[in-house]
Structure 1
Amino acid sequence: MSDVTFEVCLQSVDDAVAAQRGGAQRVELCAALVEGGITPSPASISQCRDAVDIDIMVMIRPRGGDFDYTERELEQMHQDIEFCQRVGVTGVVFGLLTPEGDVAQAQVQSLRETAGDLAVTFHRAFDVCRNPLSALETLIDLGVDRILTSGQAATVPEGLALLKTLHQRAAGRIGILPGCGITPENVARVLRETGVREFHATAFAPLESRMQHRNAKVYMGIPGLPEYERMVTATAEVEHFFRALTTT
C-alpha cells in the first residue's frame, strides 16, 4: 500500500526523527498528549523542522479541555500560527466549537485566513460536535483541508460506519483522517472498510529513565503515572504499521 500516508502523532524532536526513520510521511507535533495535545513550544517546532524532511503538522491548542475559546486564547492561536508560517512547517491543526456544539465558523475562518498557504486540519473537536454531516459541509466551505476524527466514537474501529459515510460524502472535497485507537492489528481493516488512504496513530514504546538515584515518594506529574518511564515514538513501532499493511 505505497499510496497510504501514515501521520504519526508525537511530542518531541527525537520522536519526529524516529518516525521519519520508520518511514512515516507526516507527523503531528504536539505537547502534553496526556491532555489530548496542546501547542508545542516554538523551539520544539523550529528544531523539528530542522531535524526532519517529512511533512510537519503542528497542534494549535492553547489548553486542554473543551473547544470553546476566549478572545485571548484565540489571539494566542493566531500568534502560534504566525510563528508556524515563519518557521515553514507544512500546516497546523486546530478545532473550535460553539457552546451549542457547532463549528465556530467565524473563528475557524479567521484562523484559516491567518494560516494562509499552510495546510489546515480540523482536529477531533469534530468528534464532539452536534451534527457531523453538517459540520463536514461547513468545514469544506471554510477551506479546511482535512478532518481528524474517530467517527465520533471512542476509537476508530468503533466509528467505522460514520468514517465511511464521511469519506463518501466528502467525495474528495476534504480529506478524512481516521485517528484514535488505530494499531498495526487493525489498520488494514480501517483502510479497507472506510476507503481512506491516510491514517493517524501513535507509535510509542516505553523508555526507561537513565536515573540511578530515584525518590519514589515524589511525583512531578499525575500521581500513579510512572515517573521514571515514558512513552516515546519508536522507529520499530512505525515500521510495524507498514509491515502490517504490506502483509495483510
Structure 2
Amino acid sequence: MSALRLEIAANSLASALAAQAGGADRVELCENLGEGGCTPSCGTLALARERLRVPLYVLIRPRAGDFLYDALEREVMLRDIEHCVRLGADGVVIGALDADGDVDVAVCRELVAAAGPLGVTFHRAFDAARDQTRALEAIIALGCERVLTSGGSANALDGRQAIAGLVQQARGRLGIMAGVGIDADHLRELATRTGAQEFHASAKALRASAMRHRNERLVGLDPDWVQTDLDRVRALTAALHC
C-alpha cells in the first residue's frame, strides 16, 4: 500500500498548531466546525501561514447550510480565494451545487480559476450531490486534486463500501479522501476496506473555559469550546503508520 496521509480540519490557530505537532500531513483551516465549517478569519489564516510548515489548505465556504450560492456569496468566495493566494496558502477547499443537486460546474470553474497555482480539494458538497458517480466525473473534469467524502453516509465507516467504489471509479485521476467520524480505532481498517490513501479528521476535544464567572442564562454562549487535541492527532498518525 502506498503511503497514507492524514489531514486535520483545524478550527483555529491553536488547532492547526496541534495538528502539526501531532504529525498531520496537511491542515485544512476553517472555523465553525459545528455547522460543517466556514472560511476562517484573515488573521487566523495569516498567522497559520506564518507558523505552519505542513501544507495549508483553506476552506472556502461563506456560510453554513446548503451549497447553492447566489451572486453575492460567489463574490465573497472569489475574494477569499484571492486572499489565500496572496498569503501563500498551498490550496483551497471548494464546492458548489445547483438546485437539482448536481455540481455547479460554472461556479466551481470560477473558483478553480481564481485559485490559479494552488491545489484544490472539493469538499463534502459532494456528499450532498444527488448522483455521486456523475458528480465525481464533473469534479475530475474541473481539475481538482481530491474530493472529501463519507461515501454519502453519516460517517466514513458506514460509507466504506461507497468510498471503495469511488476509489475504483477515480482510478487515480484524483484522490478520494475519506472523512467524518474517523478515529484511531478503525482508521487502519477503513484504509484496508476502502483503498483510500488520504484521511480527514478534526481530532477535536472539548476545552473547558478557565472563566470562574458564568452566566448560565446566556443560551448559545457556552464558554467551553472544541479544539484539535494533540494526543488524538498523535493516535491517528500512529494508527495510520503502524
Fold conserved between structures, TM > 0.5: yes
TM-superposed CA distance for 1:208, in Å, is 1.3
1:82 maps to amino acid: E
What SS is found at the alignment partner of 1:239?
helix
Name 2:140's counterpart in structure 1. 140
Q: Does 1:228 align with 2:191?
A: no
Preserved CA contact (<8 Å) 1:9 1:30: yes
Name 2:164's counterpart in structure 1. 164
Structure 1 unaligned regions, length at least 5: 222-226
TM-superposed CA distance for 1:218, in Å, is 1.8
What SS is found at the alignment partner of 1:156?
coil
What SS is found at the alignment partner of 1:6?
strand
Preserved CA contact (<8 Å) 2:181 2:201: yes
Task: String of CA shifts for 1:67-95, please: whole Å, max 9, x gaps.
Answer: 11001100110000000000001111111
Name 1:245's counterpart in structure 2. 240
Alpha-carbon distance in 2 for matches of 1:2, 1:141: 25
Preserved CA contact (<8 Å) 1:13 1:51: no
What SS is found at the alignment partner of 2:7?
strand
Q: TM-score, length-normalised on structure 1?
A: 0.94
Q: Does 1:15 align with 2:10?
A: no
Alpha-carbon distance in 1 for matches of 2:113, 2:5: 26
TM-superposed CA distance for 1:198, in Å, is 1.0
Alpha-carbon distance in 2 for matches of 1:235, 1:74: 35
TM-superposed CA distance for 1:145, in Å, is 1.1
Alpha-carbon distance in 1 for matches of 2:113, 2:209: 43
1:43 maps to amino acid: G
Alpha-carbon distance in 2 for matches of 1:245, 1:39: 28
Alpha-carbon distance in 1 for matches of 2:223, 2:142: 44
Name 1:150's counterpart in structure 2. 150
Alpha-carbon distance in 2 for matches of 1:16, 1:2: 25
Q: TM-score, length-normalised on structure 2?
A: 0.96
1:167 maps to amino acid: V
Preserved CA contact (<8 Å) 2:153 2:159: yes
1:72 maps to amino acid: L
Alpha-carbon distance in 1 for matches of 2:152, 2:199: 16
2:210 maps to amino acid: R
Identity value in percent: 43
1:66 maps to amino acid: D
TM-superposed CA distance for 1:35, in Å, is 1.2
1:236 maps to amino acid: D
2:218 maps to amino acid: V
Q: Does 1:48 align with 2:25?
A: no
Q: Does 1:88 align with 2:83?
A: no
Alpha-carbon distance in 1 for matches of 2:206, 2:69: 34
**Pairing of 1:89-238 with structure 2 (within 5 A):** 89-221=89-221, 227-238=222-233
1:201 maps to amino acid: A
Name 1:59's counterpart in structure 2. 59
1:131 maps to amino acid: D
TM-superposed CA distance for 1:51, in Å, is 1.3
